[in-house]
Amino acid sequence: MADFNKLEHVFLNVIGNTRDVIGNFSQHTAEDHRNSLYVYSFTEDNTAVVAISGTGGGITKESWDRVFEPFFTTKEVGKNTGLGLSISYNIINDFDGTLEFTVDGR
């Protein structure tokens, strides 16, 4: 069980961060799948699973282990606070869920 407002916050934050590391969508057509964002939802072992992924540039390997740290950001100064993924991680953790960052399904 979870609060839908908090889950909405998590989904919008994760989707927004995924969009930001993909690149500029406005420069591509609907048929252009070079930079795409995907959202999948399904159940697995009686658990709801939502997978959000994207193609494109991504973030550097050196940043992978830090994505959920408070105040960590790969964006330029003034673009954000670096709290979104940290807060999202804590919201999901409070619901006894898991929020994971993977690269290429690993």
- Rounded to whole angstroms, the Cα distance separating 106 from 37 reads 18
- Rounded to whole angstroms, the Cα distance separating 54 from 17 reads 10
With H, G, I as helix, E, B as strand and everything else as coil, classify residue 88.
Answer: helix
Q: Please give the class, per CATH, of domain 4-24+34-94.
A: alpha beta
Average pLDDT, the chain: 83
pLDDT reading at 77 higher than 80: no
Q: How far apart are the first and last CA of the chain?
A: 27
Residue 9 is predicted with a pLDDT of 94
Domain residue limits, the chain: 4-24+34-94
Residue 7 is predicted with a pLDDT of 93
Q: What is the pTM of this model?
A: 0.79
* Whole-number percent of the chain with pLDDT over 90: 38
The per-residue pLDDT for range 37-54, each reduced to its tens digit, is 889 999 999 888 999 888
Residue 19 is predicted with a pLDDT of 83
| pLDDT range class, residue 88, cuts 50, 70, 90 | very high
